[in-house]
Copies of this chain bind each other. A is one copy, B any other.
Amino acid sequence: MIDKLVEKIKKTNAPIVVGLDPMLSYIPEHIQKKAFEEKGETLEGAAEAIWQFNKGIVDAVYDLIPAVKPQVAMYEQFGIPGLMAFKKTIDYCHQKDLVVIGDVKRGDIGSTSAAYASGHIGTVTVGSQTFHPFEEDFITVNPYLGTDGIKPFTDVCKEEKKGLFILVKTSNPSSGEFQDRIVDGRPLYEHVGEMVAKWGADCMGESYSYVGAVVGATYPEMGKVLRKLMPKSYILVPGYGAQGGKGADLVHFFNEDGLGAIVNSSRGIIAAYKQEAYARFGAENFGEASRAAVEDMIKDIDGALH
């Protein structure tokens, strides 16, 4: 799957991923109204609004981008109906040939990580039948439990040709509280980065590993160091746009081949119609606003890289 991701990034010339993280407050009134008329002011109504909003955005931008990253929390908060919209979104994005990165940040002891791996990127067996329950292409994973919490995920990646992005240095303001603490003269995130490189070494695609890392756009200097520590790991870079990261900050997340990083924007794309720069489209044309925001993001990053 890493090979497919790299190929699609080259083809679109867009090392970007659109974060499908729908808050109800991002969803235009007319979509919410219609969904609530059909399904009531219920969890099912919220899920329908989310699904229609996602579909509008995916339809508007799928030809410009290699991948999407639905954040499962935004669906899980609406319970079972919300998770049904998550699954529906994944399936629809597959139909559009997009690579789907499930931002689930799971991670647990071995047997439990194995269950998460089966459900999200692998298979489960029931009697004589086999199922792919959620069927993302990549998922994000939390490393706090160490190697035996990660191995079940890499095992499934090898079997299924799927991939991971493991949290190394997250984009949020307090990520340094534990991640930056100095261990043997270097910050903890560097040790985690080295382990990501190690875990990824026997999960190689053509030029990059199936095992990537998450490093926030908001910490460009740390990205520079981590880039060198994990030369074969793709870096998923959140924090661009609404969280404060800019194109110029991103240069050092990439390798000299112009590859090696994929930059996420969520709010900045999906709620573009609410920003002054794209207000001309209006809420009715939220998809076109998102398309314009994707085009601008591609230009911003391309400009920074060249």
Contact = CB atoms under 8 A, between A and B. Distances in A.
B127 A36 contact: yes
A76 B115 contact: yes
A73 B146 contact: no
A176 B126 CA distance: 35
Contacts of A106: 73, 105
A110 B77 contact: no
Contact of A79 (B71, B131, B191, B238): B131
A119 B183 contact: no
A78 interface: yes
Q: Most chain-B Cβ atoms within 10 A of its Cβ — which of A73, A118, A179? A: A73
Contacts of A133: 43, 76-80, 82
A277 to B, nearest CB: 22
A109 B172 contact: yes
Interface string A231-261: 0000000100000000000000000000000
B149 A178 contact: no
Interface stretch (A59-67, A137-145, A201-209, A285-293): A137-145
A89 interface: no
20 contacts: A36-B126, A45-B127, A46-B124, A73-B112, A73-B119, A76-B116, A76-B120, A77-B118, A77-B124, A79-B119, A80-B83, A80-B84, A109-B171, A109-B238, A144-B179, A145-B172, A146-B178, A148-B172, A181-B191, A182-B184
